[in-house]
C-alpha cells in the first residue's frame, strides 16, 4: 500500500518533534500501522528554519493554504496555535475532504462544536490526542477505554508550567513571583505566562475532557477559571502542615443542583486545590501531568506522563496519524465519534454556576490576637450549617496578629461565600479571607 501523505502546518517545537520521531521510528511505526506515513509538505513562517528541520525531500511553503488545498495531501496536521487562522485552515481542510490532526486545545475548546460538525458532515476525522496532557493517551482512555462506564468525574493536573511552579514553591518555600522568574529562565514558563498561570490553558483542556466524559458540547465560556498567581507561600506551608498539597486542578463532574429548578448538572472549574498528600495525584511533581478519572464500573484510574514538550506531544500527534491512517477509508460510522458519543446522542445537561458547586474549603483568616475571635468565626460557620474538619492557628511572624486556618466539610460555594462575608465584617479580622477549595478525591 502507498504511504499516506501528510501536510504539516507549523514547523516549531512540536512540528520538528513530529517530523523527527516519524523519521527515527519510521520502521517501528510502519510495522504497526501497516502503511508508511510520510510528511511531504510543510508550511512555516520561517522557511529556512523549516528546511533545516525537514531536509531536502519535503516541500516547504510559506502559505498554509497551499498545504490545505493540495489534492495530494491526505491528512493535515495543524500545529500553529491560536484561534482564527487555525480555524479557517482546519475548516478548509475538512471542506477539501482531508482528515485533520491537531494539538490545538484553544481552537477546540472554542470552536470544537463547529469543527466537529463540519467534519461529521464531510465524513472526515479531526483527531486531537495531543491537545490534552501531551503524550499521555488520556483522550483515547476516556473515549475508548472507558466506554462501559458512566463517568462521574475527571480531575487533572493538566498544565506543566503551573505544576512546576507549585512544586518549587512548596519544596523551596519560595513565593510565586520568584519561582515564576526561575521557571521563565529555565524555559518552563513563557515570556508571557498568562495563559498558563491564570489557568486558561488548563481550562481549554478540561473543556475538551468534559465534553468527552459526559457527552456534552464543548463550553469553554461556561468554565470557571482561577489561576495560581495569587497563591501565597504560607498557604502552601499551612496546607502541608495539615496533610495537604496545593495543585492547580481542572475538575469536571456530575452534580445535583438544589431547589425547584434543581437537577443534574456538570461542574467545570479550574482552580488551586488542596489534595490530601497521601493521594497518588498529590505526588505528581514538576512539569508532569496526571488525570484522575472516577467512573462507575472501573472505579478510580489515573494516567500520568509528560504533558508538553516536543517529542511527548509528537507522540500523541503520530498516534493520531496512525489511527486516522488505519480508518481513513472506512465508513465514518465505524470510527470513534469525535466527542466519544454519537453526534446525535449528545445531552444538554447544563454547566452549573460556581455558586452551586459543592466542595470543601481551606479558609485562612488573618486576625488580631484577641479573646473570642475563634468563637466568633466558628459561630458564623455553625450558623451557616458548615462543619469544621480541622483548625490550625499560626503566627505568621509579625508577633501581634494570627493566621487562623479552618478546613470545612463539603458545602455549597454560595454558603461559604455568605459566611466569608460575615467573617470579614468581624472587628478582629484584618484583611480579606483567603479561600482555597479542597478535594479529598476519595
CB nearer to its own copies: give 17 or 112: 17
The C-alpha cell 496555535 sits at 81
| Closest residue by Cα to residue 256 from 107, 160, 358, 346 | 358
Tell me if 172 contacts its own copies by CB under 8 A: no
312 in contact with its own copies (CB under 8 A): yes
Is residue 15 a contact point for its own copies (CB under 8 A)? no
Minimum distance between the CB of residue 340 and its own copies, rounded to whole angstroms? 6
Among candidate residues 98, 105, 140, 205, the one labeled active-site is 205
Taking the least distance from each CB to its own copies, the nearer of 231 and 292 is 292
The minimum distance between CB 266 and its own copies, in angstroms, equals 15
Q: Which stretch binds its own copies (CB under 8 A): 68-76, 251-259, 314-322, 349-357?
A: 314-322
Contact 271, 226 (CB under 8 A): yes
DSSP helix/strand/coil, 436? strand
Among 116, 128, 188, 341, binds its own copies (CB under 8 A): 341
Pattern 316-335, its own copies, x by CB under 8 A: xxxx--xx--xx-xxx-xxx
Distance CA 10, CA 336 (A): 27
- CB count within 10 Å of CB 177 equals 8
Under the binding rule (CB under 8 A), the answer on residue 129 touching its own copies is yes
**Could you give phi then psi for residue 415, rounded to 5 degrees?**
-65, -45
Instruction: Tell me if 31 contacts its own copies by CB under 8 A.
Output: yes
Question: Nearest Cα to 140, choosing from 281, 282, 322?
Answer: 322
| Binding flags for its own copies, 373-412, as an x/- string (CB under 8 A) | ----------------------------------------
Say whether residue 34 binds its own copies (CB under 8 A).
yes
Q: Does 336 bind its own copies (CB under 8 A)?
A: yes
Residue 336, sorted as left (phi over 0), alpha (psi -120 to 50) or beta, turns out to be beta
Does the annotation mark 432 as catalytic? no
Q: Is residue 146 a contact point for its own copies (CB under 8 A)?
A: yes
Residues 198-217 that bind its own copies (CB under 8 A): 215
Q: Is 13 in the site for its own copies (CB under 8 A)?
A: no
Q: Of 142 and 405, which has the nearer Cβ to its own copies?
A: 142
Q: Which of 296, 395, 421, 424 binds its own copies (CB under 8 A)?
A: 296
- Spatial contact of 283 and 247, defined as CB atoms under 8 Å apart: no
Q: Which is nearer to its own copies, 296 or 369 (by Cβ)?
A: 296
Closest Cα partner for 196 from 220, 164, 231? Answer: 164
What are phi and psi for residue 45, nearest 5 degrees? -70, -45
- Tell me which stretch binds its own copies (CB under 8 A): 226-234, 238-246, 299-307, 351-359: 299-307
Please report whether residue 86 would count as binding its own copies according to CB under 8 A: no
Label residue 104 exposed, middle or buried (CB < 10 Å: 0-12, 13-18, 19+): buried
Cell of 420: 466569608
CB of 348 to its own copies, least distance (A): 13
For residues 34 and 385, which CB has a smaller minimum distance to its own copies in the complex? 34
Nearest in space to 289 (alpha carbons), one of 134, 94, 78, 61: 134
Tell me if 75 sits within 8 A of 54, measured CB to CB: no
DSSP states of 22-79: HHHTHHHHHHHHSS-EEEEEEE-SSHHHHHHHH-TTSEEES-HHHHHT-TT-SEEEE-
34: left (phi over 0), alpha (psi -120 to 50) or beta: left
CB of 328 to its own copies, least distance (A): 9
280 contacts its own copies (rule: CB under 8 A):
yes
Q: Does 284 bind its own copies (CB under 8 A)?
A: yes
Among 99, 105, 306, 437, binds its own copies (CB under 8 A): 306
Cβ-based nearer residue to its own copies, 218 or 373: 218
Question: Measured from the CB atom, is 69 or 149 closer to its own copies?
Answer: 149
131 contacts its own copies (rule: CB under 8 A): no
For residue 70, the minimal CB distance to its own copies (Å) is 24
Q: Report how far apart the first and last C-alpha atoms of the chain are (Å, whole number).
A: 50
Question: To which residue does cell 460556581 refer?
Answer: 354
* 148 in contact with its own copies (CB under 8 A): yes
Task: Give the Å distances, CA to CA, from 232 to 112, 228, 364.
Answer: 36, 9, 11
- Quote the radius of gyration of the chain (alpha carbons, Å): 24
**At closest approach, how far in Å is the CB of 148 from its own copies?**
3
* Residue 302 and residue 280 in contact, taking contact as beta carbons nearer than 8 Å: yes
Q: Which residues are catalytic?
A: 205
The binding site for its own copies (CB under 8 A) comprises 17, 21-22, 24-25, 28-34, 129, 134-137, 140-141, 144-150, 215, 280, 283-284, 295-306, 311-312, 314-319, 322-323, 326-327, 329-331, 333-337, 340-342, 345
Amino acid at each position: 500500500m502507498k504511504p499516506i501523505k501528510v501536510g504539516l502546518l507549523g514547523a516549531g517545537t512540536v512540528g520538528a518533534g513530529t517530523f523527527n520521531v516519524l523519521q527515527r521510528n519510521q520502521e517501528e511505526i510502519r510495522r504497526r500501522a501497516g502503511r508508511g506515513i510520510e510528511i511531504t509538505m510543510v508550511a512555516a513562517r520561517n522557511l529556512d528554519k523549516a528546511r533545516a528541520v525537514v531536509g531536502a525531500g519535503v516541500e516547504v511553503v510559506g502559505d498554509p493554504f497551499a498545504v490545505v488545498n493540495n489534492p495530494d495531501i491526505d491528512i493535515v496536521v495543524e500545529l500553529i496555535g491560536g484561534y482564527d487562522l487555525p480555524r479557517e485552515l482546519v475548516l478548509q481542510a475538512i471542506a477539501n475532504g482531508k482528515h485533520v490532526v491537531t494539538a490545538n486545545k484553544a481552537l477546540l475548546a472554542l470552536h470544537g462544536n463547529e469543527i466537529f460538525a463540519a467534519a461529521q458532515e464531510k465524513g472526515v476525522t479531526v483527531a486531537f490526542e495531543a491537545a490534552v496532557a501531551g503524550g499521555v493517551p488520556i483522550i483515547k482512555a476516556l473515549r475508548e477505554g472507558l466506554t462501559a462506564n458512566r463517568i462521574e468525574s475527571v480531575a487533572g493536573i493538566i498544565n506543566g508550567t503551573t505544576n512546576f511552579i507549585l512544586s518549587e514553591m512548596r519544596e523551596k518555600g519560595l513565593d510565586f513571583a520568584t519561582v515564576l522568574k526561575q521557571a521563565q529562565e529555565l524555559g518552563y514558563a513563557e515570556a508571557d505566562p498568562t495563559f498558563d498561570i491564570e489557568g486558561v490553558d488548563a481550562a481549554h483542556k478540561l473543556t475538551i475532557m468534559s465534553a468527552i466524559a459526559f457527552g456534552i458540547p464543548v463550553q469553554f465560556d461556561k468554565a470557571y477559571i482561577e489561576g495560581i498567581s495569587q497563591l501565597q507561600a504560607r498557604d502552601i506551608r499551612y496546607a502541608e502542615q495539615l496533610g495537604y498539597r496545593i495543585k492547580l486542578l481542572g475538575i469536571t463532574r456530575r452534580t445535583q443542583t438544589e431547589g425547584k429548578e434543581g437537577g443534574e448538572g456538570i461542574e467545570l472549574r479550574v482552580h488551586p486545590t488542596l489534595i490530601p498528600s497521601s493521594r497518588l495525584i498529590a505526588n505528581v511533581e514538576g512539569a508532569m501531568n496526571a488525570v484522575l478519572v472516577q467512573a462507575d464500573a472501573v472505579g478510580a484510574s489515573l494516567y500520568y506522563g509528560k504533558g508538553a514538550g516536543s517529542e511527548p506531544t509528537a507522540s500523541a500527534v503520530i498516534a493520531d496519524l496512525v489511527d486516522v491512517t488505519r480508518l481513513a477509508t472506512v465508513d465514518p460510522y465505524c470510527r470513534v465519534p469525535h466527542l466519544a458519543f454519537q453526534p446525535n446522542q449528545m445531552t444538554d445537561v447544563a454547566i452549573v454556576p460556581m455558586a452551586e458547586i459543592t466542595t470543601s474549603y481551606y479558609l485562612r483568616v488573618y486576625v488580631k490576637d484577641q479573646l473570642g475571635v475563634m468563637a466568633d468565626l466558628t459561630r458564623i460557620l455553625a450558623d451557616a450549617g458548615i462543619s469544621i474538619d480541622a483548625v490550625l492557628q499560626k503566627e505568621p511572624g509579625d508577633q501581634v496578629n494570627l493566621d487562623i486556618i479552618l478546613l470545612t466539610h463539603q458545602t455549597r460555594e454560595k454558603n461559604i461565600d455568605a459566611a466569608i462575608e460575615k467573617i470579614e465584617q468581624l472587628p478582629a479580622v484584618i484583611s480579606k479571607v483567603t479561600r482555597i477549595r479542597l478535594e479529598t478525591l476519595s
